[in-house]
Each structure stands twice: as C-alpha cells, then as structure tokens.
Structure 1
Amino acid sequence: MNDGKEWQDTLPAFLLEAEMLLAKSEECLSHLHLIRNDNDAIECMKNSLTKLAEKADAMALGAISTLSRHIQGLINNAQSPLQLHDEALNALHDCLTLVAWQLELIDARTGKLSLDDSEQTTLIAAAAQLIPQKTFGYLSRQSLPHAS
C-alpha cells in the first residue's frame, strides 16, 4: 500500500480514523481508572484496538498493527480484566501513548515508520508483568518484535 500518490491520498483519512480509535481507547482507559469493573469500557477498548490494528494492516503499518494487537491481546487474555489496578492501567496508557507517537512519526511521503522497536517491546513486556494472563506464556506465542 505504501506507494507514492496512493499512499499520500489515503494517509489523511487513515490518520483521522486511527486518531479517533486511539482516542476512544484512551477514553475507555480513563473510565477504567474511575470504574474498574466496567465491562463495556473493556469491550470498547478491545474493539477499538482491533479496528486500529486492522486499519494499520491495510496501510502496511506493521508496528502500529502489532502494538495494537498486543495491547488488545493483553486485555483479552487477562485473568481479571475487570480488576486491573492503577499500575496495569498506567502501563496500558504508556502503550497507547506509544501508538500515538507512532502515528505522528509516519512519513507522509513514503508511508514508512522508521523506529527502533525496543521501546515497543519494553512497554508490552512491562504491561504483561502487571496484567496476569489466563494462559501461561501468552507473549511467547505472539510475534512480539525483538530489539535489534
């Protein structure tokens, strides 16, 4: 998808939709800080992240897609998604902040997102430490990027 004019024509619409989906996720996360056991907020965040990942896939933005899927996966596979504590919610917020930065760093001419994936790996690992998972080894089965 990332080829010249077509990319430049579709990028503004993608960014608008991606920013709306990210804002929705952040709104749900803020809501969870206030009301921990709100299943609607959890589901809304998971759905928004899934849609964001799909949109990023369509634009060939693998880093954004991967990070969005990992965040969604951590929430989806949490032992107690309705009981996330402040540290876990803060770790999720850090991940969403990185997604926002990734959206900002997309080269409008080329569609490339040149960045070191070590921060992404670190943030997901930190969130995984704070969000006990139902299935042992969740992250080891995922295609978590490795820092080079």
Structure 2
Amino acid sequence: MMNSANEWQTALPDFLLEAEMLLAKSEECLNHLHLIRNDSDAIDCMKASLAKLAEKADGLALQAISEFSRHIQYLIANAVSPVQLHDQALDALHDCLTLLAWQLELIDMRTGELSLDDSEQTSLIATVTSQIPQKDYAPDLQSRLQQGS
C-alpha cells in the first residue's frame, strides 16, 4: 500500500502500463482458444496473467481489481474441463476482461480510488460460473482465495 499521494501518483502509471499488457496477453490467449480449444498453454498463460494482475493490484490496494482478477483466474483453474471451453464460456471471459480494462481507466489518477458498483462484476462472475462447470465451486470463495487455494 502506498504511503503518500506522491508515491501513488508515481506508481500508478507503471501499474496501468503493466496491467494493460497483462490484459492484452489474456485477450490474446482467449482469442487463441477460440481457434484452438484444447491449448493448455493458452489456458495457463491466461491464468498466470490474471494472477499477476491480481498481485500487482494488491500492491496498490486496488481491491476491486485484484479480487475480480483472482476470481476469474480461480474459475478457470477450477473448471471441470478447462481445455474444453465453448464459445459462450469464452465470450463470458472476454466480457470480464473488457470490464477489467474499463475499470482500469476509471481509477482516479490523483487518489487511486476506484468508485464502482460491483453489481456488474457479480453478474459477470455468475455468467462465467454458469458457463464453466466447476470441480468444487465454493460459496465462500473469498476465504479460499485468501488462503491461496
């Protein structure tokens, strides 16, 4: 967490640049999965990119972005058949990445605050969950994520 507004204003541009690159990489992986469904490397790349985005967002106390990224990554990692995602699942994941990109643009450059209603995140997570059958989807996902599951 940043100690001062000056530190925040210095760190934010670097974070945004890296976050955009991580989202672009995730998007490339998703596009690849539209073409080649069973590419485990593309799945692993997307999971790693989302996990790194969550980690970087944690470093700047951007909880909404870190939790959403981590939740998407968990749903992919916990899929019954992650290498057999159909078009609707891939489209739902695309919508999540689009929302993440939009949220990055809404971060206040002076304060680092991201004021948003989390209903769209909740709705998209519900859509992804319905499109990607889970091995053991836990209602209390937050505690699992914090424990590193």
Q: Name the TM-score, length of structure 1 as normaliser.
A: 0.93
Q: Partner residue of 1:46?
A: 47
Q: Partner residue of 1:122?
A: 123
Q: Does 1:26 align with 2:35?
A: no
Deviation at 1:143? 2.5
The unaligned stretches of length 5 or more in structure 2 are 144-149
| Whole-angstrom distance in 1 between the partners of 2:5 and 2:83 | 44
- Same amino acid, percent of matched pairs: 72
Q: How does 1:1-148 map to 2 (within 5 A)?
A: 1-2=1-2, 3-135=4-136, 137-138=137-138, 140-143=139-142
Deviations 1:37-78 (Å, cap 9, x if unpaired)? 000000000000000000000010000001100110010000
For the aligned residue pairs, the C-alpha RMSD in angstroms reads 1.1
Letter in structure 2 aligned against 1:127: V
| Whole-angstrom distance in 2 between the partners of 1:132 and 1:25 | 20
- Residues matched between the structures, number: 142
| Whole-angstrom distance in 2 between the partners of 1:61 and 1:102 | 10
Deviations 1:84-130 (Å, cap 9, x if unpaired)? 00000000000111100110000000000000001000000110000
Deviation at 1:81? 0.4
Letter in structure 2 aligned against 1:141: D
Letter in structure 2 aligned against 1:143: Q
Where 1:82 maps in the other structure, the secondary structure is coil
The unaligned stretches of length 5 or more in structure 1 are none
Deviations 1:2-40 (Å, cap 9, x if unpaired)? 531110011110000010001000100000000000000
Deviation at 1:141? 2.0
